[in-house]
Amino acid sequence: MIEQGQTLPTASLTELTSEGMQTHSTESLFAGKKVVLFAVPGAFTPTCSNAHLPEFVALADKIMAKGVDAIYCVSVNDAFVMKAWGEAHNAEHIRMLADGDASFTKALGLDKDTASFGGIRSTRYAMIVENQTVAGLFVEQDKEFAVSRAEAILEKL
């Protein structure tokens, strides 16, 4: 698993924008920026939709006021699902990034196999990334939702 002080792995994430499907490298997303990244096991799933994403939406202004350049949400879903999920939660200040093949999640060592429920998914986590380097990593234990909450990350900034 990636650790604080390490550089993010090279990977691609997709995003559906008004200009169409965009593929972004981790370098272009994180170079020269302070970013809060949070990852969820799945879009439209209970904790993710009822708490995790909505808290980041509600606290986005306060997070950005702490010198954060961007907030990214990543899930092992496709870009169409991530766009629809972001729209359903008014997440206009959060970039909804898809890791459709889980390559980024696996490279971080934060993947988990949910078997018949959904296959390979991401562990729930949040991280603070400064210029591609992990400045803070907050990984949830299974069935927990505490350290990756928006409120908890706001306190760490």
Mean pLDDT within 86-94: 97
CATH of 12-156, one of 3.90.1170.30, 1.10.10.350, 3.20.20.70, 3.40.30.10: 3.40.30.10
Q: Catalogue the active-site residues.
A: 48
Kindly report the backbone phi and psi dihedral angles of residue 42, in degrees, each rounded to the nearest multiple of 5, phi listed first.
-170, 140
Non-local (6+) Cβ contacts of 41 within 8 A are: 48, 75, 76, 112, 114, 118, 121, 122, 123, 124
Query: What pLDDT is attached to residue 62?
Result: 98
How do residues 53-80 score in pLDDT, each as one tens digit?
999 999 999 999 999 999 999 999 999 9
Kindly report the backbone phi and psi dihedral angles of residue 25, in degrees, each rounded to the nearest multiple of 5, phi listed first.
-85, 155
Instruction: Provide, rounded to the nearest whole percent, the portion of the chain with pLDDT above 90.
Output: 92
How do residues 103-150 score in pLDDT, each as one tens digit?
999 999 999 988 877 789 999 999 999 999 999 999 999 889 999 999
Mean pLDDT within 73-93: 97
**Per the confidence metrics, is the pTM higher than 0.85?**
yes
- The structural domains of the chain, with segments of one domain joined by +, span 12-156
